[in-house]
Amino acid sequence: MEVFEADIAIIGAGGAGLRAAIAAAETNPELKIALISKVYPMRSHTVAAEGGSAGVVQTHDSLDHHFNDTVGGGDWICEQDVVEYFVAQCTEEMVQLEHWGCPWSRKPDGHINVRAFGGMKIERTWFAADKTGFHMLHTLFQTSIKYPSIQRFDEFFCVDLVVEDGRVQGVVVIETATGQFTLIKAKSVIIATGGAGRVFRENTNGGIVTGDGMAMAYRHGVPLRDMEFVQYHPTCMPGTGLLFTEACRGEGGLLLNKDGYRYLQDYGLGPAEDKPRNKAMELGPRDRLSQAFWYEQQKGRTIEEPHGSVVHLDLRHLGEAYLRERLPQIYELAEEFLGVDPAVTPIPVRPAVHYTMGGILVDGKCASPLSGLYAAGECSSVGIHGANRLGSNSLAELCVFGKVAGIEAAKYAKSVAPGNTASLLKQAADSQKQAEQLVTRLDGKKGTERIATLRKEMAQTMEDGCGIYRLGDSMQATCDKINELKQRFKNVNVEDKSSVWNTDWLLAIELGYQLDVAQAMAYSAINRKESRGAHQRLDGFEARDDVNFLKHSQAHYAGEGAPRIDYGAVKITKSQPGTRAYGAAGEKAEQEREQAAHV
């Protein structure tokens, strides 16, 4: 096996991984940084983020407002000290991206423009039309080329971490083009592999979003935190789940049921007004909007289409010219994929899985409990999203915590000595053997389970048990099903036996990752006996229970068995848990909170 000696290894070259690499390179140009990605960096799923990235800029806005929106939006299960740090850093990071060339949309005077977003009290979402993630990713990728100490491993697939003496000391990768293994030795490792939305059936995610980093850390004993909180985005394309950005509503789009009625007013988000009002109606948070859809469906007030029930996202009143300027990608998606001209006809939409709020447990410095291991971005749980992430906080998170992870990993790398190559290689060889046995198989027999069949059954059971609303019985069925699939996975058939670009093999490894992550999600969900944010139960636990569950769940890997779930404290600094309300009720609740604070 080849060995590459790095100081820092970064797994994943999306927004967080690239930002971390740049930060590490700037912190200490002497350090050799290995930036590993299973796809070329610009293919990473950051590319698909549309609406924008948060950062307080307006004079009538404040960090406190952003803090309160985020903590309230997360239903108070956020790490408040981390949120405080986050909101204070967002704007600087957005400016940094601007200096690196990000084509932010501008106001006529040349300053950057901001738009309204769901659950945000004041407009603070920086945007580059409706291709914000695309522009951020390409800006970061292209800027990263400036730094000679960043050595990229494009299209290298990571199969394992190498842990010795209680700290992570490297990673094992497969070069996709050759099928060859390399041990990348590193004194610190940053995981920035993104989310795991593909474990669900209908989702907005790219095919690569398979929870690889989460699973790798998890298998090495790092807990996955708050995995039960999975975000359904309310406006997605039926069937494929492709995303119609929240910016559609930020720009004034309306949600209508089959009677053309703005149904959100029936779910505590009203009153319905002609003009968009922040934190109300269509500008409510994603969990509430997806839940409202579910109820409309139960009441038979949705429209039935071949790919399931839909409601209408109505942008007609915004006019073609404005839509082409602000939402050009949305316009084309509707035209090309649905044959709908959004200036003439409302777009049919339904909720789909979009984001994993939880992830690898890390502290405010992005450090996991495993020494030398850091995580940033969607794969991590740094604690800012709580039970429901607000739109435009995730792109900001990539930058803020990508940078933190890069700096911290660089510091750590300086503080430790390189490991013993021979013994690390021995471990790496074990990892290689495990990965290869998926193809060669121990018993030498042909596997009997199709990868696609297992994947499909997993995605279906996750949707059935861990959807927008959850029941104990169906969650139990999901847990059982995942356990069954994990057993059947041992008998998986990798048809392709070749070395060059064997995607069949890589898909099988990914499926293994997905099953572990799915299991953590399902067990975390069934154990949370309350309703909070994106985790809503209908089996006697309909209310939030701060007495018993104002806590983070932590799933611990248990090999063959079910994960062990325990709980960690939630850090509260200045916002005591209160009523989470939106629309007129939300304004009233906010006033009461302010009055109470002044007493």
Cβ nearer to another protein, comparing 181 with 294: 181
Mode of pairing for the β-strands spanning 224-225 and 188-191: unpaired
Using CB under 8 A as the criterion, what x/- string covers residues 20-39 for binding another protein?
A: -------------------x
Burial status of residue 139 (CB atoms within 10 A of its CB: 0-12, 13-18, 19 or more): buried
CB 57 → another protein: shortest distance, Å? 9
Amino acid symbol at 131: K
Taking CB under 8 A as the rule, does residue 58 contact another protein? no
Q: Name which position in 30, 177, 437, 446 contacts another protein (CB under 8 A).
A: 177
Nearer to another protein, 238 or 386 (CB): 238
Residues 6 or more apart whose CB falls under 8 angstroms from that of 488 comprise: 449, 454
CA dist list (Å): 65 to 285, 288, 299: 15, 20, 36
Report the distance separating Cα 307 and Cα 305, nearest Å. Answer: 5
Three-state SS for 56? coil
The position carrying tokens 């967080």 is 16
> Quick one: 95 or 572, whose CB is closer to another protein?
95
CB of 31 to another protein, least distance (A): 20
Rule CB under 8 A: choose which of 63, 88, 95, 256 binds another protein.
95
Least distance from C-beta 496 to another protein, angstroms? 4
Taking CA 505 as the corner, what is the angle to CA 503 and CA 509, rounded to the nearest 5 degrees? 110
State yes or no: residue 500 binds another protein (CB under 8 A). Answer: yes
> Angle at the Cα of 275 (from 270 to 280), degrees rounded to 5?
30
Segment contacting another protein by CB under 8 A, of 4-12, 76-84, 397-405, 498-506: 498-506
* Residue from 501, 527, 556, 567 in contact with another protein (CB under 8 A): 501
Binding mask 515-554 for another protein (x = CB under 8 A): ----------------------------------------
State the nearest-atom distance from the C-beta of 351 to another protein, in Å: 17
Tokens of 153: 């491993």
Report angle CA 521, 526, 527 to the nearest 5 degrees.
Answer: 100
Among 283, 333, 438, 526, binds another protein (CB under 8 A): 333
Among 29, 30, 40, 299, the residue binding another protein under the rule CB under 8 A is 40
Instruction: Please identify which of the residues 124, 198, 201, 233 carries the catalytic annotation.
Output: 233
C-beta closer to another protein: residue 44 or 474: 44
Closest distance to another protein from the beta carbon of 349 (Å): 14
Contact 121, 278 (CB under 8 A): yes
Which DSSP letter does residue 446 get? P
Q: Does 491 bind another protein (CB under 8 A)?
A: no
| Interaction between residue 488 and another protein (CB under 8 A) | no
d(CA 524, CA 226): 7
535 catalytic? Reply is no
Cβ atoms of residues 42 and 222 within 8 Å: no
At 132, list the tokens: 């914000």
Nearest residue (CB) to another protein, 5 versus 504:
504
What is the torsional sign of CA 475, 478, 482, 484?
positive
The C-alpha R_g of the chain, in whole angstroms, comes to 23
Residue 247 CB, nearest approach to another protein (Å): 15
Residue 470 pairs with which residues in a beta bridge?
A: 537
Output the smallest distance, CB 315 to another protein, in A.
18
Query: What is the per-residue binding string for another protein in 365-404, x denoting contact by CB under 8 A?
Result: ----------------------------------------
Alpha helices in 190-337 (DSSP H): 212-219, 247-250, 286-298, 320-326, 328-333
Q: Which is nearer to another protein, 265 or 345 (CB)?
A: 345
Is 423 a binder of another protein (CB under 8 A)? no
Q: How far is C-alpha 270 from the geometric centre of its chain's CA atoms?
A: 29
Q: Which helix (H) or strand (E) holds 413?
A: helix 393-415
Tell me the C-alpha distance between 136 and 18, whole Å.
10
Q: CB 439 → another protein: shortest distance, Å?
A: 11
Catalytic residue among 249, 262, 350, 544: 249
> Quick one: which of 110, 166, 540, 559 contacts another protein (CB under 8 A)?
110
Q: Which is nearer to another protein, 150 or 555 (CB)?
A: 150
Report how far Cα 97 is from the mean position of its chain's Cα atoms.
Answer: 21
Pairwise CA distance, residues 214 & 223, whole Å: 9
Q: Is 1 in the site for another protein (CB under 8 A)?
A: yes
65 carries an active-site annotation: no
Residue from 106, 299, 446, 588 touching another protein (CB under 8 A): that is 106
Task: Give, as ranges, the residues between 336 and 355 that touch another protein (CB under 8 A).
Answer: 336-337
Which residues in 449-478 contact another protein (CB under 8 A)? 450-452
262 Rama class: left (phi>0) / alpha (psi -120 to 50) / beta: beta
Judged by beta carbon, residue 102 or residue 520, the one nearer another protein is 102
Size of the site for another protein (CB under 8 A): 72
Q: Which of 235, 392, 427, 502 binds another protein (CB under 8 A)?
A: 502
362 and 330 Cβ atoms separated by less than 8 Å: no
Tokens encoding 243:
């995303």
How far is residue 43's CA from residue 219's CA, in Å, rounded to a whole number?
26
492 in contact with another protein (CB under 8 A): no
Question: What is the Cα–Cα distance from 498 to 470, expressed in whole angstroms?
Answer: 43
Distance CA 576, CA 358 (A): 21
440 binds another protein (CB under 8 A): no
Q: Are 137 and 18 in contact (CB under 8 A)?
A: yes
Letter for the amino acid at 421? T
Amino acid in position 515: L
What distances in angstroms separate CA 42 from CA 18, 135, 194, one per listed residue? 10, 10, 14
Q: Encoding tokens for residue 95?
A: 């400016």
Kindly state the smallest distance separating residue 507's Cβ from another protein, in Å.
Answer: 8
Contact call for residue 261 and another protein (CB under 8 A): no
Site for another protein in 207-226 (CB under 8 A): 207-208
CB of 177 to another protein, least distance (A): 6
The minimum distance between CB 424 and another protein, in angstroms, equals 12
State which residue, 498 or 591, has the beta carbon closest to another protein.
498
* Minimum CB distance to another protein, residue 359 (Å): 20
Residues in 263-322 at the binding interface with another protein, rule: CB under 8 A: 306
Q: Does 103 bind another protein (CB under 8 A)?
A: yes
Instruction: Looking at residues 134 to 173 of the shown chain, list those that interact with another protein (rule: CB under 8 A).
Output: 134-135, 138, 142-143, 145-146, 154
Catalytic residues: 233, 249
